[in-house]
A and B are shown apart, each in its own frame.
Chain A
Amino acid sequence: MSIFEDMRNKQEELLRTERLPHVWCPGCGIGIVLNAFLRAVIRRKIDPEKLVVVSGIGCTGRTAGYVNVDSFHTTHGRAIPFATGIKFARPDLNVVVFSGDGDLFAIGGNHFVNAARRNHDLLIIAVNNFTYGMTGGQHGPTTPTGAYTTTTPYGNPDRPFNIPHLAISLGVPFVARWTTYHVNQLQNSIYKALGMKGFRLVEIISQCPTVYGRRNSMKSPLSMMEYFQKNSIIKPNASFEEMELTYNGKIVVGEFRVRTNIPTYEERFDDVIRRAQNEN
């Protein structure tokens, strides 16, 4: 069996296949991200018993229900602190948060910034589809200015987060952004991130043809994919301005920050325990 066939078979084992087909719409990018994630896990030879996937609420939040490992579908915005509790209690586990842009950066934004600052040993897979998919396509914290959503019928007056830059400002050791078009680069970045420690963020610009694309002249799954294909620019040392996403504009992708050896919260707490026990 070739390594690709072997990987594809192992991928099936990592899926709760009895629950497929999944709930996501035709052409929804979340499945592509999950596909890449599972391949990276297999390549890293991570013991499935030591892998935990935590999701919040949303279309992306449904991911936890499809991975055949210990998996938690928590409350809206709270995947990161839930995962923090697991990781802090059991530092030997690989804990991955797999959630949507609204979940992680709007309602869960405070958890994101603080967990990033503390440098918990967590991998964050952030699926950015520019909208709240699950609730029908309202505007969210990543909707580009000018975009049409059900709550910005005259175009979005709001300004989106520059997610990679936000993470970099918090000292996050691994920050990457790809689109679902970049299936290989995406898989490689997740693979790389799985081999590192600390708070690691992979943002994936993903298509929600059903409720976002439809209102922004990209009705079919393929038309969104074509937008990603035609407008992506790989630029690892991009500036703040270049990383910003604009309405139907360029998408700067790449691995923006890779730092090893920044102590994690869990490691620093080991020191706390050592000090507490020596003083006694």
Chain B
Amino acid sequence: MKKGYLKEGNYFWSGDIAAAEGAIAAGCRFYAGYPITPSSEIAERMALRLPQLGGKFIEMEDEIGSIAAIIGASWTGERAMTATSGPGVSLMNENLGLAVMTEAPIVVVNAMRGAPSTGLPTLIGQGDLMQAHYGSQGSYELVTLYPSTIQETFDLMLHAFNFAEKYRVPVMYLIDGLLAHMYESIYVPPIEEIEKKIVHRKRPKEGQLPYEPDEDLVPPMPLIGEGRNIHATGLTHDERGYPDLTPQAQEKLVRRLNEKILKHERDIWIVEEYMTEDAETIVVSFGGEARAVKAGVDLARKEGIKAGMLRLITIWPFPWEYIKKYTADFVVAELNYGQMYHKVKEYAETPVHKLTKMGGEIHTPQEVLKKLREVSQ
């Protein structure tokens, strides 16, 4: 057993602790952050745990500095992470775009709380789903994952880091005010088993330019200190990394940044389909809210309503194929005024209904049941 590593076994953890431990298990050794409810316990856990593993933890002066620092660290080869909540993501968005443009793998956790603005600091919200994708200027794709149990919050971190490294892209890791602070019992497998599944970023071949993509559209990543004289810039650039401020360079680069993700969307999509096979109404949900939805679906089934749940674990790129494949009606349950509702509507050929709450608490199973009764009339 290596020093500082967790033993296999059962642990009783909050989502924040699980996210931190999941990241560490997935190879994260660099964390920079600024505290904010309900994500602060991630920083606290990292401060405690990373030094035990020889890793680096730094509390920065703000979220802008935090994300800048992890992008810098990522260029040295670190699997680097920060965690925050909506107000912090708003501050990070400019540099999130820098990570997209310079193709730096990072993981950003957003423990969503009630919003807009300072909103409901300690309570759940799901209003940052669009922000996760469209927060920074420009047209780009990134990966957004959203677990719904504490076990999953731990397990999914491996995917978050792997996607970031494999596709050289920032990954938004959503949790919410409910998951962040809720405690559940979870099982941690032997760390060696997790480590076996770690995907490392590709390294450039001899003579390959820093932004020269392979066939998968992802350029292997050179690292600082290898004598490759890397140049990275947020300006539109050529394959050497040098600024090229022409419409042609913009077309080529921005298309590739989008397509390198969309080309692999099936690899990135993770969903849970619960009793959807014969369902006449499917509730689309995610995160903490999905726990109530599942219970609501169970209640409906007991009444003979053919209900099911499609839980999006990958939020972006949007798993549209899972909407298209069903001929059932959809209910989109979310804690905002209706965000993913619009995405579902874009692909559904059947009626789509809203089940919204502005945040602060999840729906009750009874509220879900009520909606299912209405829709299946």
Whether B229 contacts A81 by the Cβ 8 Å rule is no
* A75, A78, A90: the one within 8 Å of B224 (CB): A90
Whether A75 contacts B234 by the Cβ 8 Å rule is yes
How far is the CB of A59 from the nearest CB of chain B, in Å?
A: 14
With CB as the reference atom, state the residue of chain B lying closest to A273.
Answer: B51
A276 to B52, CA, bound (A): 5
Q: Check if B64 is an interface residue, CB within 8 A of chain A.
A: yes
| Interface locus among A66-74, A144-152, A173-181 | A66-74
Q: Check if B62 is an interface residue, CB within 8 A of chain A.
A: yes
A54 to B72, CA, bound (A): 9
Specify which chain B residues have a CB less than 8 angstroms from the CB of A52 in the assembled complex: 224-225
Q: Check if A259 is an interface residue, CB within 8 A of chain B.
A: no
Q: 1/0 per residue B211-229: CB within 8 Å of A?
A: 0000000000000111111
Q: Check if A111 is an interface residue, CB within 8 A of chain B.
A: yes
Whether A86 contacts B52 by the Cβ 8 Å rule is no
Say whether, besides A89-B76, A277-B51, A81 and B232 are in contact (CB < 8 Å): no
Q: Check if B30 is an interface residue, CB within 8 A of chain A.
A: yes
* A70, A88, A276: the one within 8 Å of B230 (CB): A70
With CB as the reference atom, state the residue of chain B lying closest to A69.
Answer: B229
A263 to B232, CA, bound (A): 31
Specify which chain B residues have a CB less than 8 angstroms from the CB of A19 in the assembled complex: 242
Whether A65 contacts B242 by the Cβ 8 Å rule is yes
Give the A-B contact count at a CB cut-off of 8 A: 151
Whether A81 contacts B76 by the Cβ 8 Å rule is no
A75 to B91, CA, bound (A): 13
Specify which chain B residues have a CB less than 8 angstroms from the CB of A86 in the assembled complex: 72-73, 75-76, 224
Most buried by A among B60, B68, B77, B95: B68
A79-112 contacts to B, CB under 8 A, are 80-86, 88-90, 92-93, 110-111
With CB as the reference atom, state the residue of chain A lying closest to B32.
Answer: A85
With CB as the reference atom, state the residue of chain B lying closest to A66.
Answer: B231
A265 to B56, CA, bound (A): 12
Specify which chain B residues have a CB less than 8 angstroms from the CB of A16 in the assembled complex: 229, 231, 242
A209 to B234, CA, bound (A): 27
Q: Check if B141 is an interface residue, CB within 8 A of chain A.
A: no
How far is the CB of A122 from the nearest CB of chain B, in Å?
A: 11
A19 to B226, CA, bound (A): 22
* A69, A70, A84, A92: the one within 8 Å of B69 (CB): A84
Q: Check if A262 is an interface residue, CB within 8 A of chain B.
A: no
Whether A85 contacts B30 by the Cβ 8 Å rule is yes
A188 to B68, CA, bound (A): 31
Whether A73 contacts B65 by the Cβ 8 Å rule is no
A77 to B225, CA, bound (A): 24
Whether B51 contacts A81 by the Cβ 8 Å rule is no
Specify which chain B residues have a CB less than 8 angstroms from the CB of A247 in the assembled complex: none
A74 to B65, CA, bound (A): 12
How far is the CB of B170 from the nearest CB of chain A, in Å?
A: 14
A9-27 contacts to B, CB under 8 A, are 16, 19
Whether B65 contacts A81 by the Cβ 8 Å rule is yes
Q: Check if B70 is an interface residue, CB within 8 A of chain A.
A: yes
Q: Check if A239 is an interface residue, CB within 8 A of chain B.
A: no
Q: 1/0 per residue B62-102: CB within 8 Å of A?
A: 10111011111111111010000000000000110010001
Most buried by A among B80, B94, B102, B234: B234
Q: 1/0 per residue A264-277: CB within 8 Å of B?
A: 01000100110111
Count the A residues whose beta carbon is within 8 Å of the partner chain — how many? 44
With CB as the reference atom, state the residue of chain A lying closest to B29.
Answer: A89
Say whether, besides A19-B242, A73-B231, A78-B95, A85 and B70 are in contact (CB < 8 Å): yes
Q: Check if A252 is an interface residue, CB within 8 A of chain B.
A: no
Whether B68 contacts A85 by the Cβ 8 Å rule is yes
Specify which chain B residues have a CB less than 8 angstroms from the CB of A77 in the assembled complex: 64
Whether A277 contacts B69 by the Cβ 8 Å rule is no
Specify which chain A residues have a CB less than 8 angstroms from the CB of B230 in the assembled complex: 70-72
Say whether, besides A65-B243, A75-B234, A114-B65, A81 and B60 are in contact (CB < 8 Å): yes
How far is the CB of B226 from the nearest CB of chain A, in Å?
A: 7
Specify which chain A residues have a CB less than 8 angstroms from the CB of B195 in the assembled complex: none
Q: Check if A64 is an interface residue, CB within 8 A of chain B.
A: yes
Whether A93 contacts B69 by the Cβ 8 Å rule is no
Specify which chain B residues have a CB less than 8 angstroms from the CB of A277 in the assembled complex: 3-4, 51-52, 54
With CB as the reference atom, state the residue of chain B lying closest to A78.
Answer: B68
Whether B232 contacts A84 by the Cβ 8 Å rule is no
Q: Check if B235 is an interface residue, CB within 8 A of chain A.
A: yes
Specify which chain B residues have a CB less than 8 angstroms from the CB of A65 in the assembled complex: 231, 233, 242-243
Q: Check if A6 is an interface residue, CB within 8 A of chain B.
A: no
How far is the CB of A224 from the nearest CB of chain B, in Å?
A: 27
A196 to B80, CA, bound (A): 29
A54 to B224, CA, bound (A): 12
15 examples of A-B residue contacts, CB within 8 angstroms: A52-B224, A70-B228, A73-B232, A75-B94, A75-B234, A77-B64, A78-B64, A82-B69, A84-B68, A85-B76, A85-B80, A86-B75, A110-B65, A276-B48, A280-B52
In addition to A71-B232, A85-B73, A86-B75, 5 A-B residue pairs with Cβ atoms within 8 Å of each other are A72-B72, A77-B64, A78-B64, A82-B68, A111-B64
B residues adjacent to A (C-beta < 8 A): 3-4, 30, 32, 48, 51-52, 54, 56, 58, 60-62, 64-66, 68-78, 80, 94-95, 98, 102, 224-235, 242-243
The 7 A-B residue pairs with the shortest CB-CB distance, nearest first, are A85-B72, A85-B69, A276-B51, A81-B65, A81-B68, A73-B233, A114-B61
